[in-house]
Structures are given as structure tokens and as C-alpha cells.
Chains A and B, each alone.
Chain A
Amino acid sequence: MVSINYATREVTCKIVYYGPGLSGKTTNLIYIHKKVPANTKGKMISLATEADRTLYFDFLPINIGTISGFAAKFQLYTVPGQVYYNATRKLVLRGVDGLVFVADSQADKMDENIESLTNMRENVEEYGYNLDEIPVVIQYNKRDLPNVLSVEELDAKLNNKGWASFGAEAVNGAGVFDSLKMIIKLVLEKAKQGQKSKPKAEKKAAPAPAAKPESVAEKPATMTPSSEGVRESVPESQPVVSGSAETAQSRVAPEVREHVKTTAESAAPTGPIRSPAYDREGTGGESDKKEPVSSSDVPPMNKDIVSTTDDINQIPSDVKENKPGGEVGQETGRVTSDQARPFPGSRRERRITVSDFLPSSREDGMEEIDEESETDNVKKETAAESNLPSPTMAPSSRLIKKKRGFFKRLFGIK
């Protein structure tokens, strides 16, 4: 389904290349990726097996530029052709706007073509779409191989719906762009009809830039998948059959795949076209993120679960008011703060723990302990230990001796 985003001013359509295994779907995308200008394409992604067979899908985003204030983006996908991968093949069809059926022209591949076409219909219908309503272009690939059926024969067997059809040699690019241009035209045509057929109510406030024209210029020349269109297109792209006897596998050759790996990395990804308003939002979010978390920023509903830094700071002082014993107060505060952390190890939890040991961030409760511990004897030594200026400093020998004396007295050792 066409996605229209008024905030980023983008129209995105999904085009899927379907067809039997080794018919040249990925080769189509590789050729498109190789030939379109760098500012038009994004990175091509191929989810393939070790043997370079498509496992899930290939993906190539294309941005054909800004039209009427909207960036027109097309996402080209291929499906895995092998019968075995029907589960993943079906998934790629979700939300499809246009289909290019890449058929293998070789005479002995006709059964596979028919099987794949039937499978395409089944899978499309499983999503609740009607294949008659989805724009389809059929591409008879591998015209350069010997033992190919004529386009007329292929049309008679595969194209009973009158879809636009093209002969092609994806490996050297013949007919690839013809198919692509046709499917893009059909998809846009269909999207336009879809828009038109819906009842138009009042316009929303946010959309409609000045660039949006109200005047409707009817273009009669736009092509439709009529039989006339088919006949027109066939001779132009019907190629001379060359004597090449390469096998299908070697045609989708490693060097082409290599190309994807190299060029895909070097190619600049399609720059997202963002409205100024959107940019402002985006950068705003980032700068905000750097700021420390304050209680006012946390959604109110979280307050009972995750206490903020402010909450934690309050706990010891509250306790101090109720219980004069600083030591107890501190202990209670610590426990409460730990309980208030549903996720131990989170950043804030760690911060609090460390700060407990630092003299600069000591709470009021701690200071009270200091005063008491100065006057108190051995029983308060544990508190006195926490009185040390730095956690890294070892307890003094005097303290250790005191401690030993305490234990000796306690257990009656002489």
C-alpha cells in the first residue's frame, strides 16, 4: 500500500519482483543499482545464502526526486524464487503496490513459470488482495539464451490478463528499465485512482504546501496495461537471440554479486528528505537526551515504579527526621533506594551507589554519624570506618587493632 507521510513529505511505494528461481529477479535489481545515479539510489541489501541464492529478499530503495513537494520513493524487493522458500516469499508480498513477474523465457522452464505465477496469485490472495487490482508487469527474461520461446508464445501461456510485457536480458540490462518504468507508472496511476475513488472531505490543516497544484492536468498519454500497450512494447525490447550457452547460474555471476558488495558500500544512501519542522524535532530530541533526567521529564505514570534522582535524594532526609540514629537512617535510605530500582544495574542505581562512598556527595545523615562516631567507642567502629576520607584508602592500623580487641573481648580470647 502506498505510504504518504506529510511530515517528511514522502510518498513510498513497494514494488516486488516475483518469479521462479534463477529467473533473474536479483539480477534486475543489481542492474538497476548499477545504472541509476548515486543520488537516486540507496544501499542495496541482499539477504542471500552462501551460494548467492536469495534467502529472504533483496532490497533497493530508489528516490526519483521531489514532485509536487513530495519525494517519490520506490522500494524494490525481490522474493526468493525457490519453491522451498514459500514461507519467506509470501512475507515479502505484504503491502505490495506493484508486481514485476520475471519469467524465464527458456522452453524447459515454462512449468516453473506457471507454477510461480500460480503461487504468486495464491500468496497475494492470502493477504486478502485481489491480483486483478494490483498493477503487474511481466518480464520475459533471458532472451539472449538459445532455446527460448517467442514472446507471443510466452504471452499466450502466461499473460492471459493482458499485463504489460517486455522481453529482457537482465544480465546486460535490456528491458530492465522498460519494466521498471512501466510498473512505476502503473503504480502511480493506481495510487491516483485510489485517491480519487475515495470521498473527499474537508482538508486537514497540516498538509497541503503551496507546491500542491489544484488544477488537474489530464495526461492521456499515460500507459495502461492494455493489449495495445503490450504490443507496442514488445518489439522494442525483443532482442536478438545470441548464441550464448551460459547456464543460468553462471549468468547471475559472482562478479555481479561482487559488484553489489563493493558498490553498495561506496554508494551514498538515499538521503532522507526531511521537512525543516521534522529536523527541528529530531535534533531537539537529541539535545534533550543529553540533559540529566529530572523528575518533571518522567511520565507521571512511571513515578510509582521508577523513582527519580530527586526522589532518592529526599529519602535519607525524611528518614533522618523520623529516626535520630544517623546510621539507621542511612541504612534505611539505602534499602529504599534499592527497592525503588526495579532494574538493578541501571545507570541511576549505579550512580547512587558510588556517590555513597564519595565524601562530596554524602547526605546529611552521614554527617551525623561522623559526629557520633568521634565520641563513641568500639561499638561504632563500623560507622567510623565509613568516615574514611576515600574508599580507596586502607583502614588505619589503630582501627584494625581496636577491631581485634573488640572481637577478643567478645569471644573471651586472651
Chain B
Amino acid sequence: MSDDDLIIYEEEIEKIDLVLSKMLKGAEAKCALLVDKDGHLITRQGFTHSLDTTALAALLAGSFASTKEIARLVGESEFSVLFHQGKKDHIHMSLVGDRSILAVVFDDRTTIGMVRLYAKEAATELAKIIASVKSSSRESHTGLTDEFASTAGDKLDDIFQD
């Protein structure tokens, strides 16, 4: 299972952030989140300070997962684009590669078409970056040390007290 561990390095995040901010500028959207299908937030750009991005990432991934099941019921393998329309703010979600989701939050300053166009381009670029992450992370692992696990174990007693 740990073969699938998602390990992302700073330089890749920088590349991803660049693509995201370029897309935001082009589409004139509010913010963009790149989310792992498991519900982990990979990175975000734009006006995200007022958002609980952790919860948003989990819910977006959940939403995408349930839509995938719906797709399967109607004979599709997966819906690649999802759009939630609100009164003011809207969310456009699109699949990036096979394990990530790009969510773009936007309002009426732009249009769904613009967002869709730029998100599609960004998704192609992001898929390439993420594919390179997957292949490169196989080679070098500097992740969790023994001390990490043991220190975390010690901390638990402090935090989880009845």
C-alpha cells in the first residue's frame, strides 16, 4: 500500500503553483485547489484564506468519488468534469491524471466557459508534473524517520487526555 504513498517535493509544488496561478489569472477565478482523490490537499492558490481548505479538500474528493459511482451506474467509467453552481460562487472540478482533482472556485466576474477552458489546459500541464512526481518519488525517499514515529507516539499522550 505504501507503494502508492504520495510524496511531493517543493520544486514540484512550485511548478504546480505556477500553473495554478497562471490559470487563475487567465480565467479570472478566485482560487484553485489541487486535491488528491483520497481527500488530501496537495496545494492551493488564490484567495483561500477564508476557506477551510482541509475540509474542502476532503469533501471535494468525496463528491468526486460519489459522482464516479454515479457514472459507473450509467455506464461511464468516470465523469471527468463536475460543476457546482451557486448563487454567487461556483466550483468547477476536473480530473487531473488518474489520482488528482483540480477544483476552481469562481464567481460572476468570469464565466464557466473561461474557467473550463483554462482548467482544461492546466489539467494537462498538471498531469505531466504529477506523473513526474510519481516516477521520481519512487527513487528517493527521505520521508518518515524512526524518530518521527516515536516522537509522534510520545506526543499523543499529551494531546489525547481524557
Give residues in A with beta carbon < 8 Å to B. 1-8, 11-12, 14, 32, 35-37, 40, 42-43, 45, 47, 56-57, 59, 61, 64-65, 67-68, 70, 72-73, 75, 77, 87-88, 91-92, 94-95, 97, 129-130, 133-134, 173-174, 177, 180-181, 184-185, 188-195, 197-208, 212-213, 215-219, 222, 269-270, 272, 275, 277-278, 281-282, 284-286, 288-289, 293, 297-299, 301-302, 305-306, 342-343, 345-347
Contact = CB atoms under 8 A, between A and B. Distances in A.
B128 to A, nearest CB: 14
A1 B43 contact: no
Nearest to A57: B62
Given A1-B38, A5-B13, A213-B145, A45 B55 contact: yes
A59 B55 contact: yes
Contact of A70 (B62, B118, B148): B148
Interface string B83-123: 00000000000000000000000000111011001100100
A185 B4 CA distance: 20
B104 to A, nearest CB: 13
B5 A3 contact: yes
Contacts, number: 284
B69 A87 contact: yes
25 contacts: A1-B1, A2-B143, A6-B8, A6-B9, A7-B8, A8-B43, A14-B39, A59-B58, A70-B148, A75-B54, A75-B58, A91-B68, A94-B65, A133-B1, A188-B153, A193-B2, A204-B136, A222-B153, A269-B54, A281-B17, A299-B22, A306-B114, A346-B110, A346-B113, A347-B109
A3 B152 contact: no
Contacts of A298: 26
Given A192-B144, A222-B149, A95 B39 contact: yes
Nearest to A201: B139
Contacts of B14: 7, 277, 281
B6 A203 contact: no
Nearest to B73: A87
B21 A288 contact: yes
Contact of B11 (A130, A205, A218): A205
A282 B44 contact: yes
A288 B20 CA distance: 12
Interface string B4-36: 111111111110010011101110100000001
Contacts of A343: 111, 113-114, 117
Given A188-B148, A281-B17, A37 B52 contact: no
A206 B141 contact: no
Contacts of A68: 145, 147-148, 151
B40 A299 contact: no
Interface in B142-162: 142-153, 155-157, 159-162
B53 A206 contact: no
A143 to B, nearest CB: 15
B119 to A, nearest CB: 13
B153 A286 contact: no
A14 B5 CA distance: 12
Nearest to B30: A289
B59 interface: yes
B26 A3 contact: no
Contacts of B150: 217, 219, 222
Contacts of B156: 64, 180-181, 184-185
The 3 A-B residue pairs with the shortest CB-CB distance in the complex, in nearest-first order: A194-B2, A95-B38, A7-B13
Nearest to A87: B69
A25 to B, nearest CB: 16
A42 B39 contact: no
Contacts of B135: none
Contacts of A272: 53-54
Nearest to A191: B144
B142 A282 contact: no
B71 to A, nearest CB: 12
A206 B9 contact: yes
Given A3-B6, A45-B59, A133-B1, A212 B142 contact: yes
Contacts of B160: 32, 35-36, 177, 180-181
Contacts of B114: 306, 343, 346
A64 to B, nearest CB: 5
B78 to A, nearest CB: 13
A47 B37 CA distance: 18
A302 B27 CA distance: 11
B6 A6 contact: no
A215 to B, nearest CB: 8
A125 to B, nearest CB: 12
Given A1-B6, A6-B10, A188 B139 contact: no
Given A184-B156, A194-B1, 11 more contacts: A3-B7, A4-B7, A45-B55, A56-B66, A87-B69, A195-B141, A200-B141, A204-B140, A206-B9, A215-B147, A302-B121
Nearest to B48: A282
B56 to A, nearest CB: 10
A216 B148 CA distance: 10
B25 A289 contact: yes
Contact of A42 (B45, B54, B146): B54
B12 to A, nearest CB: 8
A224 to B, nearest CB: 12
